Amino acid sequence: MKNKANSLWLLAMIFLPTGAVMGQSGSSGSNILIYSLIAVAVLIFFYLLVQVADNLLAIEARQSGSQRKGVNYGIFPRISEIFAPKLPDFVEDSPVTVLKRGHNILLQGEAAARIDESVEAQTFAVQPFNFKGIAPIPKMLVEVGAEVKAGDPLFFDKANPEIHYVAPVSGEVIAINRGAKRAISEVVILADKTQKYRSLNAPDPASASREDLVKFLMDSGAWPLIKQRPFNLIADPAETPRDIFVSTFDSAPLAPDQNFVVQGREAAFRKGIDVLSKLTSGKVYLGLNAKSASVPSKAFTESNAEVRWFYGKHPAGNVGIQIHHIRPIGSKDKVWTLGVQEVITLGALFTENRFNAERIVALTGAELKDPVYVRTNIGANLGELLKDNLKAENTRMITGDVLSGRKSGPEGFLDFYDDQVTVVEEGDYYELFGWLLPIEPRPSISNSFPNFLFPNLKFKANTNSHGERRAFVVTGQYEEVLPMDVYPQALMKSILNGEFERMEGLGIYELVEEDVALCEFVCTSKQPLQQILRQGLEMMREQG
Amino acid sequence: MKKSLLNFFKRIEPDKKKSPFLHTAYDAFFTFAFTPNTTTKGGVHIRDGMDLKRLMVQVVLALQLCYLYGTYNIGQQHFEALGMYGGFFEGFHLKLFHGLIKILPIFIVTNVVGLGIEFWYSAKRGHAVEEGFLVSGALIPLIMPPDIPLWMLGLSVAFAVILGKEAFGGTGMNIWNVALLSRVFIFFAYPTFISGDEVWVSDIHKIKDIGYQSVQYGWAHHFFDWIFSGFGWSTFGSGAQPVIDGYTGATPLALAAKGGWDNVLNVYSTHQMWWGDIPGSIGETSKPLIILGALYLVFTKIADWRIMVSMVLGCTFMGLIMNGMAPDQITADTENIFKFMAVPWYYHFYMGSFLFAMAFMATDPVTAASTRPGKWVYGFLIGAVGLIIRVWNPAYPEGWMLAILFMNTFSALIDNVVLNANMKRRQKRTAAVSS
């Protein structure tokens, strides 16, 4: 009905001035205008006629029992269908969410698809600040010099003593480092040559009750693998999540290929999904990449989870974006998210009966001699992973990707949830007229650079900020790279102004830092959006 | 080379505490020459190559064609009024240098006053000089009539920068378009000057009992005459020449307001209006060159095409309504307002500063609406309101300046409506998902 009213209104708009112009033209004699307006009116009339017929067709189809959503029954293709990308065959007929906004930052130093088994890290660390929502000084269960097995608890948070934070490897605790305000920053373990595991008694997920599973996960050290949104905290064991989301592809710059990472561990992944589906009252959703060049792993397509396909540039692989398009988070909802390798570790508890902290980590970046995958464990030392692999001295080691990773160094350790190390050049030099005539190519979404002529050029980015911080000037820039129904700039301003209702209304619960990281990258004013967002999230968390 | 230049710059760096103003000025020039060596901290590790300096300079680049033609056209209109050098290339050097003699002082005064205030405020606040005035300083000369007295210009720029921008906190914080504020200051403070017919053609004035004639040329013209005569080229002469018969100096819009489209065609051809061979503000006359600049801004995504398109739609919509309301028969006795309303809607794009306002003024990201739907509404209303002011305002036949400033005032409101709709949508969706 509403549609019809709209088109009537449109018709009236077209015809009213036409009549007037017709009257006038008797004297002035400008006929082209009238004829063109009549032609437009006739065209619109036929368009409406066809539209009505088309709608009748769709109604007919629905009445005769067709239930499928998002299928076009009309005679004409929809505009979105004409411009829809050509989808690969493996997607088959599944519905695909096409995300038009976004940007892929192409960088040099992608990891070659092989595992360099010669790289071995000896020291590993668990870093309490990786776990959002726990106290900065957790209660320690071990001391320096203690021998631990992989899976032995190291510390716990006083607010939730049942959740154990466990050792990823067996060995000797060689240091407990403290940072600012005596907060514990690292619990460092020197790994044994042969790994010993704490023996576990995994219940059978098919028959065990949810309480037993939760209890086992907390005790075994797998619980911190699960993150809870909003706020990206360690999951709350008292909550039953509405749904659980896992993204099976990472679209961040130089991110590891999860199809490669999951190879050989498909059973553990499937088991993990089975366990997760016992934990939620809703469903477990897997986000799959409809844009990938290769067929996704069977572990992803043939598991007991709901599969959703996404086609788009970064940040299409971010789980936050996928949640927004599958079932968005409301103010009272709690959903859980995991990465692929977290699911594998969780599943391995049941298939292998031990806490297997194995991680396939992609060593990436233009400053590496040999960017490659390595097999190691959670919290590996970066210096040991990158030994003899660095090209130059003045580099920045990042645990994670260049957008939302953390700056670290050869003494630092892989973050708990990370499966990637990136090394880029430090850009701490002056550049003559660098803003006007950049000599070196650099990634940018702006067409004022000749980048648009070379869509497949891979850049050697550095950490120079390429300009100074300014007030918000440009508008619409963030929206261009964020495929969500969110106004990031308005949200950021509401955070800076401390307007709680507006923050909630504009969707702060749907975002975490990694989702706005690309917005921060493109920001002309060089504003620290991730930091502002975290500030807003902390404000919301304290409020309620 | 680069290293020695860098060392030189480092050596002459003034002390920040002892002379904050000097240091601010130094910092502005230093960051102009070298992008700073700052690296990212926390958050993203790599940044897009685009920064505010580069953004602003793209707008200045897009304006260059308007500058070139504007300079030439100052001379062209001057000599056309005198009935000399009718062809495009006839007396080219005279037209160009006459234009330069007029536009250079305007440009220098604008930027010295504007940047001076900007530097002073930045020094006071202790932060870096922001790039906003780079664009304002390039826009203001283009929207001024060529005969603008320099003291008036300086005063208007000072007003716009102090009250329009610094009072709100500098670049990115202002509510109204800075360049238009300087123009509107002159419009309201010196209405008799800006609204007459005399200001649009340079160096032609009315002398009692004699009528229009060109002024006595000053030392600058004589200096160039000395050079030109050395080459054996034609020279300016001493000036004080009478204008051709029937000269009024009126712009097409002034003519249209007095007698409709036919009255315009008596003086100017559509061809002239399209290519810009008409009197007017310095940069606004040549439509193809403005469109080229606009296309560049759209291509580099610095100006939002949504605002431009919706502004054209708004103007078209209002033009059609006016055409519809105009009486069928236009005779000599018809009121002037009806004659103006009967001007075919598409010819409104030929006259006045619609395109310039659309390409460079309405799209200013700071003062425009910031949300996508908001931009459509914002542009459409500028188009519609601007034409209302142009046609139905008995005093002054142009409206984009006032329409844009008017919609600048309401852009925050438009955004608020869009954001509230977003909040409502989210609320509804949450209710639907949770239940």
Distance from the Cα of A524 to chain B's closest Cα (Å) equals 5
Amino acid identity at A184: I
Q: Determine the pLDDT at residue A206.
A: 87
Q: In 10 A of CB A114, how many CB atoms? A: 9
Q: Does residue A74 have a pLDDT over 70?
A: no
- Nearest by CB to A521, from B47, B52, B173: name it: B47
Q: Using the predicted structure, report yes or no on whether residue A147 has a pLDDT greater than 90.
A: yes
**How many Å apart are CA B215 and CA B89, to the nearest integer?**
23
Tell me the pLDDT tens digit for each residue of A275-300.
999 999 999 999 999 988 888 998 89
| Greatest alpha-carbon span in chain B | 89
CB–CB of A261/A296 below 8 Å?
no
Q: In terms of pLDDT, which residue wins out, B180 or A62?
A: B180
Chain A CB within 8 Å of residue B422 CB: yes
Distance CA(B66)–CA(B153), nearest Å, equals 20
Residue linked to tokens 């619990």: A187
CB proximity B33 to A under 8 Å:
yes
pLDDT band, very low/low/confident/very high, at A124 (cuts 50, 70, 90): very high
Does A440 or A21 have the greater pLDDT score?
A: A440
Gap from A166 CA to chain B (nearest CA, Å): 28
Each residue of A197-236: pLDDT tens digit?
A: 998 888 998 899 999 999 999 999 999 999 999 999 999 9
Residues of chain A contacting B432 with CB distance shorter than 8 Å: none
* Amino acid occupying residue A70: G
Query: Which one, of B134, B135, B131, B68, lies nearest residue B103 by Cα?
Result: B68
Q: In chain A, pLDDT over 90 holds for what percent of residues? A: 66
Instruction: Give me the torsion for CA of B50, B51, B54, B57, rounded to 10°.
Output: 140
pLDDT confidence band for A21 (50 / 70 / 90): very low
Question: Is residue B432 less than 8 Å (CB to CB) from chain A?
Answer: no
Kindly determine whether residue A490 and residue B419, on different chains, have CB atoms separated by under 8 Å.
yes
pLDDT at B392 over 60: yes
List B207's β-bridge partners, or say none: B211
What are the tens digits of pLDDT across the range B3-12?
888 888 888 8
CB contact under 8 A, A467 and B5: no
Q: What is the structure's pLDDT at B365?
A: 92
CA angle B406–B409–B415, rounded 5-degree value: 120
pLDDT tens readout for residues B59-71: 999 999 999 999 9
Cα separation, A32 vs B200, in Å, equals 35
Compute how many other C-beta atoms are within 10 angstroms of the C-beta atom of residue A211. 9
Confidence (pLDDT) at A26: 44
Contact in structure between B354 and B319 (CB atoms under 8 Å) = no
Kindly report the number of other CB atoms within 10 A of residue B202's CB atom. 24
Buried b (16+ CB within 10 A) or exposed e, A493-529: bbbeeeeeebbbbbbbbbbbbbbbbbbbbbbbbbbbb
Residue A393 placed within a domain = no
Residue A1 reports pLDDT greater than 50: no
Q: Which residue of B has its CA nearest to A527?
A: B43
pLDDT at residue A2, rounded to an integer: 45
Of A160, A262, A170, A167, the residue nearest A214 (C-alpha): A160
Structural domain includes residue A335: no
What is the predicted pLDDT for the residue at B433? 66
Instruction: Tell me the pLDDT tens digit for each residue of A323-333.
Output: 999 988 887 88
pLDDT at residue A521, rounded to an integer: 95
Q: Where are the beta strands (DSSP E) in A57-183?
A: 96-99, 112-115, 123-126, 139-140, 147-148, 153-157, 160-166, 171-178
pLDDT of residue B332: 80
A68 secondary structure, DSSP code: -
Q: What share of chain B has pLDDT > 70, as a percent?
A: 99
Query: Is B34 or A524 the better-scoring residue by pLDDT?
Result: A524
A400: left (phi over 0), alpha (psi -120 to 50) or beta: left
Find the radius of gyration of the CA atoms of chain A: 27
Average pLDDT, chain B: 90
Q: Which residues pair with B288 in a beta bridge?
A: none
Average pLDDT for residues B275-294, to the nearest whole number?
93
CB contact under 8 A, B36 and A465: yes
**Spatial CB neighbours of A413, under 8 Å, sequence gap ≥ 6:** A123, A124, A125, A127, A186, A188, A379, A380, A381, A382, A399
If pLDDT is split at 50, 70 and 90, which confidence band does A65 have?
A: low
At A57 the pLDDT is 81
Q: Let me know if residue A210 belongs to a domain.
A: no
Number of Cβ within a 10 Å radius of residue A536: 23
* Chain B residues with CB-CB distance to A521 below 8 A: 44, 46-48
> What residues form DSSP beta bridges with A424?
A396
User: Is pLDDT at A453 greater than 50 in this prediction?
Assistant: yes
Question: What is the Cα–Cα distance from A208 to B433, expressed in whole angstroms?
Answer: 29
Percent share of chain B, pLDDT over 90: 55
Does residue A6 surpass a pLDDT of 60?
Answer: no
- Cross-chain residue pair A427–B58, CB shorter than 8 Å: no
B21 in Cβ contact with A378 (< 8 Å): no
Q: Which two tokens stand for residue A117?
A: 């088994």
DSSP character at residue B358: I
- Asked if the peptide bond before residue A153 counts as cis, ω within 30 degrees of 0, the response is no
Least confident of A194-208, A273-287, B186-200, B309-323: B186-200
B419/A487 touch (CB, cutoff 8 Å), yes or no? yes
Per the domain annotation, does A325 fall within a domain?
no
Average pLDDT over residues A380-390: 93
The C-alpha atoms of residue B288 and residue B105 are separated, in whole angstroms, by 26
Residues in chain B: 435
Question: Are A464 and A439 spatial neighbours (Cβ–Cβ below 8 Å)?
Answer: no
Distance from CA of B11 to the nearest CA of A (A): 15
User: B87 falls in which pLDDT band (50, 70, 90)?
Assistant: confident
Give the DSSP H or E segment for B371: none
**Residue A23 pLDDT > 50:** no
Predicted-complex ipTM score: 0.89
- pLDDT interval class at B394 (50, 70, 90): confident
| Residues 6 or more apart whose Cβ sits within 8 Å of residue A229 | A320, A323, A329, A334, A335, A336, A337, A509, A510, A512
The amino acid that residue A224 corresponds to is P
Segment A479-492, tens digit of pLDDT: 999 999 999 999 99
Q: Which residues contact A122 (CB under 8 A, 6 or more apart)?
A: A190, A191, A381, A384
Mean pLDDT computed over B73-94: 89
Confidence of residue A25 (pLDDT cuts 50, 70, 90): very low
Q: Do B426 and A428 touch (CB under 8 A)?
A: no
Which residues on neighbouring strands pair with residue A244, listed in sequence order? A284, A336
Spell out the domain ranges in chain B: 303-428
CB-based burial of residue A6 (10 Å sphere; 0-12 exposed, 13-18 middle, 19+ buried)? exposed
Beta-strand (E) ranges in B8-137?
A: 34-35
Closest to B298 (Cα-Cα) out of B282, B314, B309: B309
The 3-state secondary structure of A203-256, one letter per residue: CCCCCCCHHHHHHHHHHHCCHHHCEEECCCEECCCCCCCCCEEEECCCCCCCCC
User: pLDDT for A331-346, tens place per residue?
Assistant: 788 999 999 999 999 9
Nearest to A474 among B131, B324, B365 (CB): B365
Quick one: which of A172, A207, A200, A202 has its CA closest to A188? A172
The single-letter code of the amino acid at B61 is L
**Number of domains comprising chain A:** 2
Q: Which domain holds residue A475?
A: 465-544
CA triple A438-A427-B45, angle to 5 deg: 105
Task: Give the tens place of pLDDT for each residue, A395-423.
Answer: 999 999 999 999 999 999 999 999 999 99
DSSP class of residue A128 equals G
SS3 A312: strand
| In a domain? residue A211 | no
Pairing of strands A395-399, A160-166: unpaired
- Shortest Cα–Cα distance, B173 to chain A (Å): 8
* % of residues, chain A, pLDDT over 70: 91
CB contact under 8 A, A17 and B422: no
Tell me whether B329 touches chain A (CB under 8 Å): yes
Parallel, antiparallel, or unpaired for β A395-399 and A420-425?
Answer: antiparallel
Give the end of a domain, one of A68, A84, A100: A84
Q: Which pLDDT tens digit goes with each residue over B162-186? A: 999 999 988 888 999 999 999 999 9
Domain end among A47, A65, A84: A84
Confidence (pLDDT) at A29: 47
Residue B259: per-residue pLDDT: 85
Alpha-carbon distance of B268 to B262, in angstroms, equals: 10
How far is CA A336 from each of CA A225, A513, B14, rounded to the nearest angstrom?
10, 16, 56
Q: Which residues contact A438 (CB under 8 A, 6 or more apart)?
A: A431, A449, B49
Distance CA B358, CA B292 (A): 13
The residue among A42, A68, A84 that closes a domain is: A84
Buried b / exposed e over A300-338, threshold 16 CB at 10 Å, is beebebeebbbbbbbbbbbbbbbbbbbbbbbbebbbbbb
- Cα–Cα dist B183/B402, whole Å: 10
> Nearest residue of B to residue A406 by CA position?
B42
Count CB pairs under 8 A between chains A and B.
254
> Mean pLDDT across the stretch A433-452?
86
Q: Is A223 in contact with A336 (CB distance < 8 Å)?
A: no
- Residues of B (344-383) whose Cβ lies below 8 Å from A: 344, 365-366, 368-372, 375
Given a cut of 80, whether residue B360 has pLDDT beyond it is yes
Tokens of residue B4, six digits? 């020695």
The reply to whether A164 falls in a domain is no
Q: Which residues of B touch A41 (CB under 8 A)?
A: none
Q: Render pLDDT for B111-131 as a digit per residue (tens, 0 to 9).
A: 999 999 999 998 888 888 888
pLDDT band at A58 (very low <50, low <70, confident <90, very high): confident
Mutate to test the interface with B, among A103, A429, A448 (most CBs of B within 10 A): A448
Burial class (CB in 10 A: 0-12, 13-18, 19+), A145: exposed
